[in-house]
Structure 1
Amino acid sequence: MKELITGDQEIAEKIYLIRGHKVMLDNDLAEMYGVETKRLIEQVNRNLLRFPAEFMFRLTDEEFEVLRSQIATSKRGGRRYAPYAFTEHGILMLSSVLNSKQAITMSIKIIEVFVKFREMLITQKDLLLKFEQLEKLVVQHDDDIQYIFQALKQLIQQKNEPREPVGFKLRGKPDDL
């Protein structure tokens, strides 16, 4: 029997982004739950009302080929049909239809990994917002610095023409005082 997948990193490596959803494939889940893939699918088919489209969907042949090339699996042997992909909610529902201690334990671990993904995404969004604010500030400062340089260049390039003296002039009095 294969060694059970238990680490967060091992679980995270089995999560794929398909159709804009983070999903796990039926064969990976079956392995984690300690059941055969066909038994997992049998339980899903017996409980189809628990698995609406937003919980589970079957990959198209094209999606499966792309995924297969990404994870470098062999075309020989293996599956006759494209796998099912389960979203976070579908994974949670699987634990209720499989109803074994291992399925429940693994579902909890998998959900914890999904939650960590969400937390990382929120952190990344916060960082992105801060970078955007910093960028705006830098751009504003760049504009201000450019304006200062333009003013300095104008001052340097001005001709040194004689200017009228600054001060008070008395009217009507001779200049020889």
Structure 2
Amino acid sequence: MTKTELDNDEIVIATESVMNQIFNIRGQKVMLDFHLAALYEVENRILKQAVKRKQNRFPDDFMFQLTKDEWQELITICDNLPEGVKFSPATPFAFTEQGVAMLSSILNSERAVAVNIQIMRVFTRIRQMLTDNTELRLEIEKIKRSLDNQNKNIELVFQYLDELNDKIKRPPLLPDREMVGYKIGGKE
């Protein structure tokens, strides 16, 4: 179950459900209009009409409409898109985190505000995970550099040992002397 309502009218949406509806398009984390409409429990056309009436509240960094190519690519790679939406002639709107926050101000409903609060928490959690992930990557890179330096140092030690080994004068293993033993088939 993706959505439930508690006795105190606090709306709870599963974090995983919201995270599965966040896409990376044009280098931004966005949610699509039909997913947001479902969360707000309004028709998608109502959401789009409200946005179009207040277009000045949604600059390009808050919302943009997908191109046909972007929409086709998303349909190709996503298996959790609703069937009716896949075949719609209009491409959906994509809302960034700021655009989602702005939606609650134009929809004017308690549900929109409550849902937006939860969505903002999910976006914050994603940002925190990315930050943690970045810190982890930096630590791994630091360890790699350290190991690379150690490998170079070990190679240098072996190179010095080889050079030292070449410089040391060693006595021959057997001194020059007359062979001892029988001579077979040869002249004396």
Coarse TM-score class (shorter-chain normalised): 0.7 to 0.9
Deviates more, 1:149-158 or 1:55-64: 149-158
Q: Distance in 2 between matches of 1:17 and 1:77?
A: 18
1:99 corresponds to which letter in structure 2? Answer: N
5 Å matches for 1:16-165? 16-72=23-79, 73=81, 74=83, 78-157=87-166, 158-160=168-170
Secondary structure at the aligned position of 1:113 is classed as helix
Matched with 1:173 is none
Deviation at 1:151, TM superposition (A): 2.2
Percent of matched pairs sharing the same residue: 36
1:27 corresponds to which letter in structure 2? Answer: F
Residues 18-57 of structure 1, C-alpha deviation per residue, up to 9 Å, x if partnerless?
Answer: 0111000000000000100000011111111111111100
* Contact preservation (8 Å) 2:2, 2:17: no
* Contact preservation (8 Å) 1:59, 1:85: yes
Secondary structure at the aligned position of 1:28 is classed as helix
TM-score, normalised via structure 2 length: 0.79
Residues 108 and 14 of structure 1: CA distance in aligned 2, closer, same or farther (over 3 Å): same
Matched with 1:11 is 18
Secondary structure at the aligned position of 2:91 is classed as coil
Secondary structure at the aligned position of 1:128 is classed as helix
2:19 corresponds to which letter in structure 1? Answer: A
Deviation at 1:82, TM superposition (A): 0.3
Deviation at 1:89, TM superposition (A): 0.3
Q: Which runs of 4+ in 1 moved over 6 A?
A: none
Matched with 1:175 is none
TM-score, normalised via structure 1 length: 0.83
Residues 52-73 of structure 1, C-alpha deviation per residue, up to 9 Å, x if partnerless?
Answer: 1111000001100000111135
* Contact preservation (8 Å) 1:27, 1:37: yes
Deviates more, 1:74-83 or 1:132-141: 74-83
Q: Distance in 1 between matches of 2:2 and 2:119?
A: 17
1:150 corresponds to which letter in structure 2? Answer: Q
Deviates more, 1:91-100 or 1:145-154: 145-154
* Contact preservation (8 Å) 2:2, 2:14: no
Structure 2: which 5+ runs fail to align? 5-12, 173-188
Structure 1: which 5+ runs fail to align? 163-177
Residues 103 and 122 of structure 1: CA distance in aligned 2, closer, same or farther (over 3 Å): same
Q: Distance in 2 between matches of 1:35 and 1:146?
A: 67
1:159 corresponds to which letter in structure 2? Answer: K
Aligned length: 161
Secondary structure at the aligned position of 2:73 is classed as helix
